[in-house]
Structure 1
Amino acid sequence: MVEVAAFVDLLRSTVIVVVGTGLLAALAGLLTAASYRWATTRAPPAGVGTIVGLSTVTGYLSYRLVESRAFFEGVPLDHQFSAGFVLATLFVGGTVATAGGRLGDRIACEVTAIPRIDGDGEAVASVRAARLAVSIELPDVIDDADGYRPVDPALRRAIAGSTVRLPHGLTAEQRRDRLERHLECEYGVGYAAVVLDDDGSLERVFVGQQSSGLGSMLPPGTAAVAIRADCSPDASLGDPIEIWSTGDRIRLVTTGRLRTTAGSVATVIVERDRVGDLSPEHRYRVVTRPDESTDGYAFASTLRRVDETVVTLSVDPEGPLAGEFVGWLPGRVLLVHRDGEFHPLPADNETLQAADELWVLARPDHLTESDLTSAPI
Structure 2
Amino acid sequence: MTLLATVLSNPLVEAGIRIVGLSLLAAAVTTLVAYVYRVRARAELPEGATLIIGLGAVAIYLNTRIVFIQFVGETGDPFTVSEALLNVSVFVAAGVASYGGRRLGNWAGESERFSWGRLQPDFSPLVRATGRYITVTLPDDIEDIEGYDPVEDETRDALSGRTLDFSRGLTLAELESGLITRLKEDHDIGYVDVDLAEDGTVEYFAVGRRVAGIGPTLPPKTAAVAVRADPPFSATPGDTVQVWQVLEGEETRIGTAELRASVGSVATLATDESVAERIDPTAEYRLMTLSADSHPDREFAGMLRRGEETMSVVEIGTGSPLVGSPISALDVTVIAVQTARGEVETIPAREWIIEAGERLFAIGRPDVLRKLEATNAVQPITVDGELSNADDATLLAEPVSERPLADEE
Q: TM-score, normalised by structure 2?
A: 0.50
The answer as to whether partners of 1:258 and 1:269 remain within 8 angstroms in 2 is: yes
Q: State the secondary structure of the residue aligned to 2:260.
A: strand
| Alignment partner, residue 134 of structure 1 | 134
The answer as to whether partners of 1:225 and 1:270 remain within 8 angstroms in 2 is: no
| Alignment partner, residue 332 of structure 2 | 331
Q: State the secondary structure of the residue aligned to 1:175.
A: helix
The answer as to whether partners of 1:326 and 1:333 remain within 8 angstroms in 2 is: yes
| Alignment partner, residue 272 of structure 2 | 270
Q: State the secondary structure of the residue aligned to 1:211.
A: coil
The structure-2 alpha-carbon separation of the partners of 1:301 and 1:199, relative to structure 1 and needing over 3 Å to count, comes to: same
Unmatched segments (≥5 aa) in structure 1: 1-129
Instruction: Give distance in 2, aligned partners of 1:304 and 1:168.
Output: 37
Counterpart pick for 1:343 among 331, 342, 346: 346
Q: State the secondary structure of the residue aligned to 2:176.
A: helix
| Alignment partner, residue 208 of structure 2 | 208
| Alignment partner, residue 295 of structure 2 | 294
Instruction: Give distance in 2, aligned partners of 1:198 and 1:131.
Output: 15
Instruction: Give distance in 1, aligned partners of 2:258 and 2:338.
Output: 29
Shift of residue 221, structure 1, vs aligned partner: 4.5
* CA offsets 1:153-193 (integer angstroms, 9 cap, x no match): 55334322221100011111110111112222233222212
| Alignment partner, residue 313 of structure 1 | 313
Instruction: Give distance in 2, aligned partners of 1:273 and 1:253.
Output: 7
- Percent identical: 26
| Alignment partner, residue 367 of structure 1 | 369
Instruction: Give distance in 1, aligned partners of 2:186 and 2:136.
Output: 15
The structure-2 alpha-carbon separation of the partners of 1:336 and 1:233, relative to structure 1 and needing over 3 Å to count, comes to: farther
| Alignment partner, residue 249 of structure 1 | 250
Return the index of the structure with the highest Cα Rg: 1
| Alignment partner, residue 185 of structure 2 | 185
* CA offsets 1:171-223 (integer angstroms, 9 cap, x no match): 11110111112222233222212212356543211200113345555555543
Shift of residue 271, structure 1, vs aligned partner: 3.1
The answer as to whether partners of 1:336 and 1:357 remain within 8 angstroms in 2 is: yes
Shift of residue 285, structure 1, vs aligned partner: 1.5
The structure-2 alpha-carbon separation of the partners of 1:280 and 1:267, relative to structure 1 and needing over 3 Å to count, comes to: farther
The structure-2 alpha-carbon separation of the partners of 1:367 and 1:198, relative to structure 1 and needing over 3 Å to count, comes to: farther
Shift of residue 152, structure 1, vs aligned partner: 3.5
Q: State the secondary structure of the residue aligned to 2:363.
A: strand
Taking the TM superposition and a 5 Å limit, the aligned residue runs for 1:45-60 are none
The answer as to whether partners of 2:244 and 2:285 remain within 8 angstroms in 1 is: no
Shift of residue 352, structure 1, vs aligned partner: 3.2
The answer as to whether partners of 2:309 and 2:365 remain within 8 angstroms in 1 is: yes
Match of 1:181, as an amino acid? T
Q: State the secondary structure of the residue aligned to 2:180.
A: helix
Taking the TM superposition and a 5 Å limit, the aligned residue runs for 1:1-377 are 131-153=131-153, 155-197=155-197, 201-215=201-215, 218=218, 221-227=221-227, 228-231=229-232, 233=234, 237=238, 241-245=241-245, 249-255=250-256, 257-258=257-258, 260-263=260-263, 265-272=267-274, 275-288=277-290, 292-306=293-307, 308-318=308-318, 319=320, 321-337=322-338, 339=342, 341=344, 343-344=346-347, 346-354=348-356, 356-370=358-372, 371=374, 373=380, 377=400
The structure-2 alpha-carbon separation of the partners of 1:331 and 1:282, relative to structure 1 and needing over 3 Å to count, comes to: same
The answer as to whether partners of 2:217 and 2:306 remain within 8 angstroms in 1 is: no
Match of 1:250, as an amino acid? E
The answer as to whether partners of 1:240 and 1:293 remain within 8 angstroms in 2 is: no
| Number of equivalences | 243
Instruction: Give distance in 2, aligned partners of 1:184 and 1:310.
Output: 18
Match of 2:335, as an amino acid? L
* CA offsets 1:32-62 (integer angstroms, 9 cap, x no match): xxxxxxxxxxxxxxxxxxxxxxxxxxxxxxx
Match of 1:207, as an amino acid? V
Shift of residue 282, structure 1, vs aligned partner: 0.5
Q: State the secondary structure of the residue aligned to 1:181.
A: helix
Match of 1:316, as an amino acid? I
Shift of residue 150, structure 1, vs aligned partner: 1.9
